[in-house]
């Protein structure tokens, strides 16, 4: 019993450490290489490849071992490696930062560096930690009970991952930072190694396991099933988030909820599957048919979820909820929808490892079988990681992506239950028609989906929905009131465009966003119109052009978060025509620019004066800027998953880098979603800007208190001033009025929160501010 408990404890801690290292790795490399989907996939991909190698090696090496000591030696090595990675990681990453902006580059900016850094820093500990599970199964499994041993260890390891899924991104990385998190993992592994070595020392009261004789290779059929189930699990996890995103968004809590429920389902499935496999297969191989029928049920379930899901989600998160109130409602809705729609299928998929190990094991080779099958499951996960968000969702949408995964499961079931695959004819007769009938559900739905793709969510006035690699983008056409309540009375600007007191406006909205927007254009306006965006924050950002220029005839701008080009359009159309504006715009999601070209007249603003870089994280671009590239104005309007200022674009190190590319009297403006002056996110970013640049000024927006613009310049402690003698564009009067009456100096508190590349809890602050 003590040994059994020990194995489970080791499996739990290994599962926890592996996933924590994954989260920390992405976080540690982000300041150097950004968080574009290329870099993210590269880092996760390297770790998953390492895990696959580790599983296979663990199973093979485990067969030659007669005690658990080698396992703990590996944990010790992994501990030292992780500790070194924690310390050396930032320096190594900095040395690998690419130089030069992407012109004709074929390879994305951060790809090579992130690949090398993640291999050097994290591949070895991942390999070593992954060797744990098959090794433990080898130690724990007894003939006839391989399923139970595999299920138990896999389930407990998955529970460790479940804990890491919440603890690492939501607590550890947000409170103690990346370095301390990795150090904590190293300490955990080190303690585990020391304890394990002590308990398994020669002469201790431990069980010696005889070395196994070389056995036959694992059947290719089982390998294929492991690969496809691993692929399906990852597609379902990522697909679930994207499927629900139009209602619940992609905040950290939503990701944690979806991944958490998925891991819980997999753990329960493993535990249940282990017992089921031992019970079913004790009567012969024919028992395996249960597993394949279960996969068919999972496929049909996913198919039905894609049909009923939108209606349920619409009921759970109705339209019209304001952005500052929606997250607590959406978080709970995501829990309900994930449990109902994806819990049962993933529970069935969680049965795969114990069933396959039980079916594929010959003699005393449970560890090796488990290692090989886990490795192929991980390879499936790796494939899923690379194809789901970057390829499948943009190509066939989240609904189609989920149906593809379901069809893959049906295909496995039908092949496995095909005529002749089982000796007992009664088995074929009973199960094949059932599996085929269940498989018709996703097949029919997929055909319907491909024939006429309907939007996931429809808003009033919606004219397009595009699912990009990052988000769901909706183009919505609405008649809305302008946000200039008093200036029209002064005659400074006309109040309205339409007779009914409103303006037809095209918005780019994303994910759960039913109220706010990342870009817009007033449909009826033209270049000479006196209204720009009707008092919205784009005008407040563009105001920087009026105090960030030394040379009155030129303006060099860096726009981080170009999106649909509204900031650039507002800036260029509100500035005097004789000012030569040159701009570098960076947008991580190139699909947003494509949508803007199609629907928001983006091509009107494209010229040689505007250089656009898409598909790259802005931090990577700033890192790679040539030293002599100087800007008068840097505008940061970047958001990740609707609500978060990307942490790597809000740290001391980032602002210091930006300062190196600022003209002597240049200014930096950062748009922050936050509750006015009280906003903890805005205060943290302002404190960080004060630390890096000397002082920060907060410019609230009187017509929408949810946005503030933070301003800093290199000339320390100089409050921003509009230039006298400039006749402001009428559409900028509202912004100028608010700017001159409301700008407040941020009170720098050296002991307060200052965001750094290592510790930047901006996500946690945003979650708290939004009620999570």
Report the site for another protein in 130-169 (rule: CB under 8 A).
136-137, 140-142, 144-146, 148-149, 152-153
Residue with Cβ nearer another protein (44 or 732): 732
Q: Does 411 bind another protein (CB under 8 A)?
A: no
Nearer to another protein, 496 or 629 (CB): 496
Nearest-approach distance from CB 672 to another protein, in angstroms: 13
Please give the residues from 547 up to 576 whose contact with another protein meets the rule CB under 8 A. 547
CA distance 699 to 338: 40
Please report whether residue 325 would count as binding another protein according to CB under 8 A. Answer: yes
Shortest distance in whole angstroms from residue 155 CB to another protein: 10
301: its two tokens: 């379930």
362 binds another protein (CB under 8 A): no
How far apart are the C-alpha atoms of 411 and 238, rounded to whole Å?
Answer: 21
Shortest separation between residue 745's beta carbon and another protein, angstroms? 5
Say which residues have a Cβ less than 8 Å from residue 458's Cβ, sequence separation at least 6: 465
Among 88, 201, 214, 322, binds another protein (CB under 8 A): 322
Closest distance to another protein from the beta carbon of 554 (Å): 18
Among 94, 97, 495, 744, binds another protein (CB under 8 A): 744
617-676 positions binding another protein, by CB under 8 A: 675-676
Site string for another protein, 168-207 (x = CB under 8 A): ----------------------------------------
CB closer to another protein, 489 vs 628: 489
Tell how strand 472-480 and strand 580-587 pair up.
unpaired
Residues 80-119, one symbol each (x = binds another protein by CB under 8 A, - = not), give ----------------------------------------
> Could you give the CA distance from residue 46 to residue 48 in angstroms, rounded to a whole number?
5
Positions 43 through 62 that interact with another protein (CB under 8 A): none
Residue 339 makes contact with another protein by CB under 8 A: yes
Q: Please, are residues 100 and 106 in contact by the beta-carbon 8 Å criterion?
A: no
Q: Which residue from 176, 199, 329, 630 is in contact with another protein, where contact means CB under 8 A?
A: 329
- Shortest separation between residue 381's beta carbon and another protein, angstroms: 23
Q: Contacting another protein (CB under 8 A), which of 96, 297, 305, 316?
A: 316
**CB-based contacts of 5, cutoff 8 Å, min separation 6:** none
How many residues bind another protein (CB under 8 A)? The answer is 83
Q: Does 27 bind another protein (CB under 8 A)?
A: no
Residue 553 neighbours by CB distance under 10 Å: 9
Footprint on residues 689-708 left by another protein (CB under 8 A): 697-698, 700-703, 705, 708
Q: Which two tokens stand for residue 353?
A: 């490892």
* CA dihedral angle for residue 201, residue 202, residue 206, residue 209, rounded to 10 degrees: 120
Interaction of residue 335 with another protein, rule CB under 8 A: yes
Q: How far is the CB of 731 from another protein (least distance, A)?
A: 14
Measured from the CB atom, is 219 or 742 closer to another protein? 742
Say how many C-beta atoms besides its own lie within 10 A of residue 418's C-beta. Answer: 12
Q: Which CB atom, from 81 or from 271, has the smaller least distance to another protein?
A: 271
- In the list 301, 644, 711, 737, the residue contacting another protein (rule: CB under 8 A) is 737
Nearest distance in Å: CB 482, another protein: 15
The whole-angstrom separation of Cα 203 and Cα 67 is 12
Question: Per CB under 8 A, which of residues 471..500 are in contact with another protein?
Answer: 485-487, 489-492
Q: Which member of 733, 754, 763, 766 binds another protein (CB under 8 A)? A: 733
Q: Phi and psi (nearest 5°) for 261?
A: -65, -40
Sheet holding 744-745, edge to edge: 610-614, 580-587, 554-560, 631-636, 662-673, 707-713, 697-700, 744-745
What is the distance, to the nearest Å, from the Cα of residue 211 to the centroid of all Cα atoms in its chain? Answer: 43
716 near another protein, judged by CB under 8 A: no
- Asked if 724 interacts with another protein (CB under 8 A), we say yes
Helix (H) or strand (E) holding 56: helix 37-64
Name which position in 103, 578, 727, 750 contacts another protein (CB under 8 A): 727
The residue (of 386 and 737) whose beta carbon lies closer to another protein is 737
Partners of residue 557 on adjacent β-strands: 583, 633
The C-alpha atoms of residue 512 and residue 314 are separated, in whole angstroms, by 11
Q: Using the rule CB under 8 A, is 7 a contact of another protein?
A: yes
Please state, in angstroms and rounded to a whole number, the distance separating the CA atoms of residues 217 and 652: 54
Is residue 736 involved in binding another protein (CB under 8 A)?
yes
CA distance 631 to 659: 9
The residue among 379 and 728 lying less far from another protein, judged by its C-beta, is 728
User: Given the rule CB under 8 A, which of 108-116, 432-440, 629-637, 732-740 is the region that contacts another protein?
Assistant: 732-740
Sequence-ordered list of residues with C-beta below 8 angstroms from that of 245, at least 6 positions apart, any chain: 254, 398, 471, 472, 511, 512
Under 8 Å between Cβ of 253 and 772: yes
User: Per-residue x/- marks for another protein, 260-299, CB under 8 A?
Assistant: -x--xx--xx-xx--xx-xx--x-----------------
Tell me the residue length of the chain.
Answer: 772
With a CB cutoff of 8 Å and minimum separation 6, the contacts of 550 are: 632, 663, 664, 665
**Whole-number minimum distance, CB 346 to another protein, in Å?**
10
| CB-nearer residue toward another protein: 106 or 724 | 724
SS3 640: strand
Asked whether the CA dihedral 336, 342, 348, 350 is positive or negative, the reply is: negative
d(CA 344, CA 408): 17
Binding piece for another protein, criterion CB under 8 A, among 326-334, 472-480, 556-564, 622-630 = 326-334
CB nearer to another protein: pick between 572 and 733: 733
Comparing CA positions, the residue from 622, 556, 606, 603 lying closest to residue 583 is 556
Shortest Cβ distance from residue 389 to another protein (Å)? 25
Buried residues in 254-292 as b, exposed as e (16+ CB within 10 A): bbbbbbbbbbbbbbbbbbbbbbbbbebbeeeeebbbbbb
Separation CA 21–CA 185 (nearest Å): 7
- Its sign, for the CA torsion 558, 761, 263, 305, is negative
**CB nearer another protein, residue 254 or residue 559:** 254
- CA–CA separation, 400 and 397 (whole Å): 5
Q: What x/- string results for residues 497 through 536 when contact with another protein is judged by CB under 8 A?
A: ----------------------------------------
Residues 6+ apart with CB under 8 A from 556: 581, 582, 583, 630, 631, 632, 633, 663
Instruction: Scan residues 421-450 and list those touching another protein (CB under 8 A).
Output: none
579 near another protein (CB under 8 A): no
């Amino acid at each position: 019993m003590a040994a059994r408990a020990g194995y489970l404890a080791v499996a739990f801690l290994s599962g926890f450490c592996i996933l924590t290292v994954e989260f920390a790795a992405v976080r540690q490399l982000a300041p150097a290489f950004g968080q574009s989907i290329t870099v993210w996939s590269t880092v996760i991909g390297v770790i998953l490849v390492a895990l696959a190698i580790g599983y296979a090696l663990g199973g093979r090496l485990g067969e030659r071992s007669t005690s658990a000591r080698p396992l703990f030696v590996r944990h010790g090595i992994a501990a030292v490696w992780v500790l070194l990675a924690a310390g050396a990681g930032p320096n190594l990453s900095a040395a690998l930062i690419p130089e030069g902006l992407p012109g004709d580059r074929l390879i994305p900016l951060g790809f090579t560096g992130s690949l090398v850094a993640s291999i050097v820093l994290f591949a070895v500990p991942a390999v070593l930690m992954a060797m744990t599970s098959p090794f433990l199964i080898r130690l724990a499994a007894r003939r006839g009970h391989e399923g139970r041993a595999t299920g138990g260890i896999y389930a407990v390891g998955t529970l460790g991952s479940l804990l890491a899924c919440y603890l690492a991104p939501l607590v550890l990385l947000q409170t103690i930072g990346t370095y301390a998190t990795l150090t904590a993992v190293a300490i955990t592994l080190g303690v585990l190694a020391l304890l394990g070595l002590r308990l398994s020392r020669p002469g201790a009261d431990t069980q010696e396991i005889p070395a196994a004789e070389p056995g036959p290779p694992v059947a290719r059929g089982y390998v294929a099933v492991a690969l496809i189930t691993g692929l399906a699990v990852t597609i379902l996890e990522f697909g679930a988030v994207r499927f629900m995103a139009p209602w619940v968004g992609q905040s950290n809590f939503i990701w944690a909820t979806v991944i958490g429920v998925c891991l819980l389902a997999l753990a329960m499935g493993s535990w249940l599957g282990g017992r089921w496999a031992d019970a079913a297969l004790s009567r012969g191989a024919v028992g395996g048919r249960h597993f394949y029928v279960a996969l068919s049920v999972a496929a049909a379930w996913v198919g039905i979820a894609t049909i009923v899901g939108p209606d349920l989600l619409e009921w759970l998160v109705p339209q019209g909820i304001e952005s500052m109130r929606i997250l607590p409602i959406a978080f709970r809705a995501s829990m309900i929808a994930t449990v109902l729609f994806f819990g049962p299928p993933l529970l069935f998929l969680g049965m795969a490892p114990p069933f396959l190990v039980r079916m594929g094991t010959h003699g005393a080779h449970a560890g090796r079988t488990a290692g090989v099958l886990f490795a192929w499951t991980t390879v499936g996960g790796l494939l899923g990681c690379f194809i789901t968000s970057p390829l499948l969702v943009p190509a066939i949408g989240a609904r189609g992506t989920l149906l593809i995964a379901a069809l893959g499961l049906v295909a496995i079931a039908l092949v496995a239950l095909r005529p002749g695959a089982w000796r007992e004819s009664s088995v074929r007769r009973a199960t094949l028609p059932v599996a085929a009938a269940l498989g018709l559900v996703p097949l029919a739905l997929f055909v319907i989906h491909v024939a006429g793709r309907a939007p996931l969510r429809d808003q009033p006035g919606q004219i397009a929905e595009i699912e990009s690699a990052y988000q769901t983008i909706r183009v919505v056409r609405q008649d809305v009131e302008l946000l200039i309540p008093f200036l029209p009375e002064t005659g400074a600007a006309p109040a309205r465009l339409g007779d009914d007191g409103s303006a037809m406006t095209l918005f780019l909205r994303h994910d759960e966003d039913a109220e706010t927007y990342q870009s817009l254009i007033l449909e009826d306006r033209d270049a000479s119109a006196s209204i720009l965006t009707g008092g919205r924050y784009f005008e407040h950002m563009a105001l920087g052009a009026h105090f960030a220029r030394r040379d009155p005839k030129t303006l060099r701008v860096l726009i981080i978060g170009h999106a649909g080009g509204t900031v650039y359009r507002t800036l260029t159309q509100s500035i005097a025509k004789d000012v030569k504006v040159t701009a570098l715009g960076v947008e991580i999601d190139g699909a947003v620019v494509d949508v803007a070209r199609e629907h928001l007249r983006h091509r009107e603003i494209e010229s040689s004066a505007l250089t656009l870089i898409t598909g790259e994280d802005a931090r990577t671009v700033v890192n790679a800027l040539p030293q002599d590239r100087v800007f008068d104005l840097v505008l940061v309007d970047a958001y990740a998953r609707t609500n978060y200022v990307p942490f790597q674009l809000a740290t001391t190190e980032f602002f210091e880098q930006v300062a190196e590319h600022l003209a002597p009297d240049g200014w930096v403006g950062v748009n922050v979603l936050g509750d006015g002056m009280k906003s903890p996110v805005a205060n943290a970013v302002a404190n960080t800007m004060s630390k890096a640049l000397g002082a920060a000024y907060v410019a609230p927006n009187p017509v929408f208190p949810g946005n503030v613009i933070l301003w800093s310049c290199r000339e320390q402690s100089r409050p921003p001033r509009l230039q006298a003698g400039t006749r402001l564009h009428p559409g900028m009067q509202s912004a100028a009025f608010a700017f001159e009456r409301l700008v407040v100096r941020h009170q720098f508190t050296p002991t307060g929160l200052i965001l750094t590349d290592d510790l930047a809890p901006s996500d946690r602050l945003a979650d708290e501010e939004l009620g999570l």
